[in-house]
């Protein structure tokens, strides 16, 4: 047995974060800006692990009113941990629920409901020892059976959970979800109320930090069964996190309150978290400058140059990609040469320098730079460039029967309502017009948009983002798994799916990275997506907000580490 963080993996994570800071210091699938490896016998306790964050959060005299107001761009589509798939929902869920572990500001796993864990010598079986002071807000203890119930619910085919695939590392999970296996064969066991045993089908070095993802959170099954779809409403919901859901005025605001019964409540400074839903970034900035908002998470592109000069402007690293997806089953986009032409016509450098202007890096692969092994699978043969190749794009369209002598290509670009997404869509519309493509723009509210791009066959080109759930390229490449819950392109490639499986069974890191390289090559060859840029995470943060540290893996923020200092 080893200490829970292997030395080599700790070094990799440090390099990832250094790379992210280096790439992004100039200026998550999410609605607003867009949506690790540990093992061991005993985890470091929470106080020791989070000493730096808590020290920063508690630095100086605290304000009497420990209330923070954080802007969110839209209504969270779901606060059900089994069903949520976006970063807005995750921001709330991560603070009202708690999984086996949490991620600190550096993206490292620290104890949550599990106070310690062990990994078997073959790397297949994990045993989590739950703390005995973890409780639900109704007073019931959080038990290992609560985790079993949640995990089996998200895997149940009837739940139709998009994130069910996150549990496919577990023996029997994928088969059960596909309707080809029995629930009894899913290797999750609760031998007693405070012990949880999980057996994987192959070693997954990122498994423990993945326990911080909402898809692995426990749920109060009795509450779910009693209230059905309404179980997450404030009057009904039962949670186990550092904060409780006090109010949810749909399409308006969300309010969280400190949970006095949470096991770490003594170290939590904040009493209230207000989350007004401010869709227009310019409106949010005005509210910030008027003192009505403490953290403005959306930066309007038209105002970036001015806001960058403010002392409240902070940029955080974020391992994620902003991309355009193509519905390969749509007749207009079924030809790979058409999709290649559309991708080639995009000038990514112009977008990041003149449109988004927040220090992003033009993306030439689906996996962002900074992920372990990136140098191995980044050297693929691809037509994707940081600038546009208008001539080649026009030739490909002509070869496909569009343009000169053929029918004009008409494409609709779909994006969720947001000033930044609109600005990028307008720029790409202009770039496509230069190669003879007529592009129409169509925006929708976030919740409606997610449903549309996933289920409506009329979707053609759409904008989407993905930020890391764990520190491995598998997390990005799994998005394009054939039939996967987050693969809205309708693209499926048997070789690609087989490579995903082989990556899990790889004997060492290099073999896994080689599989990733082949997958990236298939993406470049068949173009189900057009990478646009790799993310940064800029925010406006009031100087009296201490401990605001979104981590690079998912851009989640733990409100229990934040305090408001006296002005």
Residue 347 Cα distances to 290, 388, 532, angstroms: 37, 4, 9
H-helix or E-strand containing 494? helix 494-504
pLDDT of residue 405: 66
Distances 464 to 22, 41, 244, 375 between C-alpha atoms, Å: 24, 39, 30, 25
Whole-number pLDDT of residue 21: 31
Sequential DSSP letters for 387-421: S--HHHHHHHHHHTTBSTTSBPEEEEEEEES-HHH
Residues 380, 318, 23, CA angle at the centre, nearest 5°? 60
Tell me how far apart the alpha carbons of residues 374 and 67 are, in angstroms, rounded to a whole number: 41
Residue 508 is predicted with a pLDDT of 83
> Which pLDDT score is estimated for 484?
86
Place of tokens 């080809």: 180
328 contacts: CB under 8 Å, gap ≥ 6: 334, 339, 489, 490, 491, 526, 528
Token pair, residue 111, equals: 């104890």
Nearest to 526 by CA among 343, 354, 403, 377: 343
Judge if pTM exceeds 0.85: no
Which tokens is 429 given? 């519309």
- In the chain the domains, ranked by start, together with CATH numbers, are 61-239+554-564 (3.90.76.10), 320-534 (3.10.105.10)
pLDDT of residue 552: 78
Among 106, 103, 94, residue whose Cα is nearest residue 46 = 103
What is the C-alpha to C-alpha distance for residues 408 and 438, in angstroms, rounded to an integer?
A: 7
Nearest to 495 by CA among 524, 519, 527: 519
Establish how many alpha carbons lie within 13 A of residue 440's alpha carbon, considering only the half-sphere containing its beta carbon. 7
For the chain, helix (H) and strand (E) counts, in that order, are 19, 21
Looking at residue 285, its pLDDT comes to: 96
Q: So what's the pLDDT on residue 45? A: 28
Distance CA 410, CA 338 (A): 11
Of 112, 132, 98, 142, give the one whose Cα is nearest residue 243.
Answer: 98
DSSP letter at 356 equals I
Residue 69 in tokens? 């107001």
Taking the CA atoms of 509, 510, 513 and 514 in sequence, report the sign of the dihedral they define: negative
Strand partners, 541: 295
Report which of 509, 520, 424 is spatially closest to residue 463, judged by C-alpha positions: 424
Which parts of the chain have pLDDT scores under 70?
A: 1-60, 105-106, 405, 554-555
Residue 258 in 3-state DSSP? Answer: strand
Say if CB 349 and CB 363 are below 8 A apart: no
Angle value at C-alpha 471, between 526 and 447, nearest 5 degrees: 65
Phi first, then psi: give them for residue 204, nearest 5 degrees. -130, 100
How many whole angstroms separate alpha carbon 497 and alpha carbon 493?
A: 6
Average pLDDT score over the chain: 87
369: left (phi over 0), alpha (psi -120 to 50) or beta: beta
Please tell me the predicted confidence (pLDDT) of residue 340. Answer: 97
The DSSP call for residue 436 is: T
- Cα 12 to Cα 30: distance, rounded to the nearest angstrom: 26
What six digits make up the tokens of 372?
């372990």
DSSP 8-state symbol, 492: -
User: Which H helix or E strand runs over 321?
Assistant: strand 320-326
Half-sphere exposure of 271 (CA within 13 A, CB side): 6
């Amino acid at each position: 047995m080893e200490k829970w963080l292997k030395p080599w993996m700790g070094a990799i994570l440090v390099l990832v974060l250094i790379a992210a800071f280096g790439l992004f210091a100039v200026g998550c699938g999410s609605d607003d800006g867009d949506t690790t490896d540990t093992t061991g016998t005993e985890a470091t306790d929470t106080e020791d692990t989070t000493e730096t964050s808590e020290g920063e959060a508690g630095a100086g005299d605290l304000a009497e009113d420990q209330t923070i107001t954080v802007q969110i761009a839209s209504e969270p589509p779901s606060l059900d941990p089994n069903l949520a798939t976006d970063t807005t929902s995750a921001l709330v869920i991560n603070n009202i629920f708690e999984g086996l572990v949490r991620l600190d500001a550096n993206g490292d796993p620290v104890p949550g409901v599990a106070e310690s864990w062990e990994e078997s010598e073959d790397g297949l079986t994990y045993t989590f020892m739950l703390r005995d002071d973890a409780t639900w807000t109704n007073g019931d203890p959080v038990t290992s059976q609560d985790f079993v119930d949640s995990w089996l619910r998200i895997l149940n085919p009837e739940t139709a959970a998009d994130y069910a695939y996150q549990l496919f590392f577990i023996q029997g999970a994928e088969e059960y979800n596909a309707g080809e296996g029995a629930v009894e064969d899913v290797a999750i066991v609760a031998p007693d109320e405070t012990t949880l045993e999980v057996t994987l089908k192959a070693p997954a070095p990122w498994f423990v930090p993945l326990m911080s993802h909402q898809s692995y959170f426990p749920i109060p099954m009795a509450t779910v069964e009693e209230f059905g779809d309404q179980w997450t409403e404030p009057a009904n919901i039962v949670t186990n996190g550092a904060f409780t859901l006090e109010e949810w005025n749909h399409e308006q605001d969300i309010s969280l309150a400190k949970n006095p019964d949470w096991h770490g409540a003594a170290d939590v400074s904040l009493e209230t978290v207000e989350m007004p839903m401010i869709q227009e970034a310019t409106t949010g900035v005005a509210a910030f400058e008027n003192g009505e908002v403490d953290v403005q998470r959306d930066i309007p592109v038209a105002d970036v140059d001015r806001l960058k000069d403010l002392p409240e402007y902070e940029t955080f690293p974020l391992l994620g990609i902003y991309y355009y997806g193509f519905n390969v089953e749509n007749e207009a986009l079924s030809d790979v040469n058409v999709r290649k032409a559309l991708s080639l016509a995009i000038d990514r450098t112009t977008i990041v320098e003149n449109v988004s202007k927040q220090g992003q890096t033009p993306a030439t692969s689906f996996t962002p730079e900074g992920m372990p092994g990136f140098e191995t699978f980044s050297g693929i043969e691809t037509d994707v460039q940081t600038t546009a190749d208008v001539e080649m794009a026009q030739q490909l369209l002509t070869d496909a029967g569009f343009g000169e002598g053929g029918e004009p290509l008409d494409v609709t670009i779909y994006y969720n309502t947001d000033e930044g997404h609109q600005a990028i869509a307008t720029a790409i519309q202009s770039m496509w017009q230069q190669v003879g493509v007529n592009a129409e723009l169509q925006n929708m509210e976030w919740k409606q948009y997610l449903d549309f791009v996933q289920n409506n066959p009329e979707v053609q080109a759409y904008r989407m983002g993905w930020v890391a759930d764990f520190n491995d390229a598998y997390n990005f490449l799994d998005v394009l798994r054939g039939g996967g819950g987050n693969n809205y392109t309708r693209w499926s490639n048997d070789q690609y799916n087989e490579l995903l499986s082989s990556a899990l069974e790889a004997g060492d890191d290099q073999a896994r990275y080689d599989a990733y390289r082949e997958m990236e090559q298939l993406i470049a060859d068949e173009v189900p997506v057009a990478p646009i840029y790799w993310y940064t995470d800029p925010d406006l943060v009031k100087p009296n907000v201490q401990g605001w540290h979104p981590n690079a893996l998912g851009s989640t923020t733990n409100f229990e580490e934040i305090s408001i200092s006296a002005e």
